[in-house]
Structure 1
Amino acid sequence: MATWFTEKQTENFGITAKVKRSLHKERTDFQDLEMLETEEWGNMLVLDDMVMTTEKDEFVYHEMLAHVPLFTHPSPKKVLVVGGGDGGVIREVLKHESVEKAVLVEIDGKVIEYSKQYLPAISGALEDPRVDVQVDDGFMHIAKSKREYDVIMVDSTEPVGPAVSLFSKGFYEGIAKALKEDGILVAQTDNPWFKSELVRQVHADVKETFPITKVYTANIPTYPSGLWTFTMGSKIYHPQRIPVERFTNIKTKYYTSELHNACFALPKFVKEIIE
């Protein structure tokens, strides 16, 4: 008899994947963690019954969270990733030669441990000498950092459990202080179909904190609705006014220089949410 995993994305809608087997399951100090081997998506990381990443479509999220801000900034040298214990964003960050140090602050060390075991193609870059992996509270790390980072990326789960504080206005204000005078913030900000109020509120909070605030989207099939938003806050640099020569040739599967500009063209209903 077939086994299926269903993420209940709303009270009335879910996404289902056929499961070959459960690779690991435990209750960590912070959340329920499970690694599943699925027929369609390969190995899948699930936290609190929500899909975090899969081997098949992970590149979309990780590339779009990393490359949009890193090409917007003319010379990012020190980068912080809050969350992202699977290591996918770090892998993409290190493709930029200007990056001298990438700091990963993940509150749940078990996410790092089991990603290394079951998602090696995603997590492999965590062993790079340029990477500083810290098992710590990202909110507190930001609070202690002052004018330290060129780019900060918030790779959090949805705003439940340990990630709730990562969607607060105070957190974005702390990030502004942790960034250098020309720094950039990018955060994953969920989907406009089921979480329109969250998208609206985050945009409003970031807009009150950063002179330049932009929302962009990507298609991620295993995330709720498939249409995902990211919110950028920039102190100086506008992501749609980048010299063509800045786009260096890095290996990607989703992100391109053409898509960099196109991803900021929002569907009308999304524009209405943030306006």
Structure 2
Amino acid sequence: MELWYTEKQTENYGITAKIKRSLATEETPYQKLDMLETEEFGNMLTLDGMVMTTERDEFVYHEMVAHVPLFTHPHPKHVLVVGGGDGGVIREVVKHPEVEKVTLVEIDGSVIEHSKKFLPTIASAFDDPKVEVIVGDGFMHIAESREAYDVIMVDSTEPVGPAVKLFEKGFYEGLSRALKEDGLFIAQTDNPWFKADLIRQVYSDVKEIFPITRLYTANVPTYPSGLWTFTMGSKKHDPLEVNEARFHDIETKYYTKALHKAAFVLPKFVEDLTK
């Protein structure tokens, strides 16, 4: 008998993967967590039935969350990651020598523990001396912070459950207060095929708060539609005007110096969401 996992991404469309076995399942205080071993993508983490990351394609998302903002900001000494309990973003952040400290605030400690056990190549930087881990509410952490961070990365789930408030205008206002005078943030903002209205609203809200607002994309095969967007709000630094001297060699599989700016070249139907 074959076992298949299906994520129903809309009422009429889904993605499916053949499963070798279930590694772990837990009803945490916040969501249903499953760790699955798949034939095609290796170990896969799902939350509330949605794919969060897989061993095979995780590098795309994590590199594009981390390196685009860190090469945009000239002095990213203090970094905050909201969510990201699988550890992939902080793994990429600590590759930057100018980063002195990265704080990860993850609301669900079970995500961290299961990732350490079943996704060790992703969750490899939790013991790095630069990393501080807080199991707590990222929304409240932002609300209580003032001019504390150079760069903030919002690595949330899709806007359901505890992540809904991370897609609201009030949260982006909080991000602005938590950032230093030349700070910037980046947030994953879902896909343009099924969530166009969400992207349009987020971009509009961020643009009202931050002088520089940019949208960029990446290809993540196991995410809905495969085309994923990220929204950046910046007080001063424009990702399209990065000084060439800022780029230095780091080990990547997806992100490159040329791709940094190319990712901001949008298909017209996506560009239209920013108008």
TM-score, scaled relative to structure 2: 1.00
Aligned equivalents of 1:219, 1:4: Cα separation in 2: 23
2:246 is matched with 246
1:47 is matched with 47
State the Cα RMSD in Å: 0.4
1:212 is matched with 212
Aligned equivalents of 1:76, 1:245: Cα separation in 2: 15
Secondary structure of the 1:259 match is: helix
Aligned equivalents of 1:106, 1:202: Cα separation in 2: 22
Aligned equivalents of 1:234, 1:213: Cα separation in 2: 6
1:196 is matched with 196
Deviations 1:206-252 (A, max 9, x none): 10110000000000000000000000000000101011111000000
2:89 is matched with 89
Q: Partner amino acid for 1:73?
A: H
1:111 is matched with 111
Deviations 1:95-121 (A, max 9, x none): 100000000000000000100000000
**Number of aligned residues:** 275
The structure 1 segments of at least 4 consecutive aligned residues displaced by more than 6 Å after TM superposition are none
Over the matched positions of the two proteins, sequence identity in percent amounts to 71
Is residue 31 of structure 1 aligned with residue 2 of structure 2? no
Secondary structure of the 1:120 match is: coil
1:141 is matched with 141
Aligned equivalents of 1:235, 1:97: Cα separation in 2: 23
Q: Partner amino acid for 1:239?
A: P
CA positional deviation for 1:124: 1.1
2:131 is matched with 131
Residue ranges of structure 2 left out of the alignment (5+ in a row): none
Q: Partner amino acid for 2:100?
A: E
1:171 is matched with 171
2:273 is matched with 273
2:60 is matched with 60
Aligned equivalents of 2:185, 2:74: Cα separation in 1: 14
1:160 is matched with 160
Secondary structure of the 1:123 match is: coil
Is residue 186 of structure 1 aligned with residue 202 of structure 2? no
Deviations 1:153-198 (A, max 9, x none): 0000000000011001000000000000000110000000000000
TM-score, scaled relative to structure 1: 1.00
Aligned equivalents of 1:76, 1:116: Cα separation in 2: 26
Aligned equivalents of 2:243, 2:131: Cα separation in 1: 28
2:222 is matched with 222
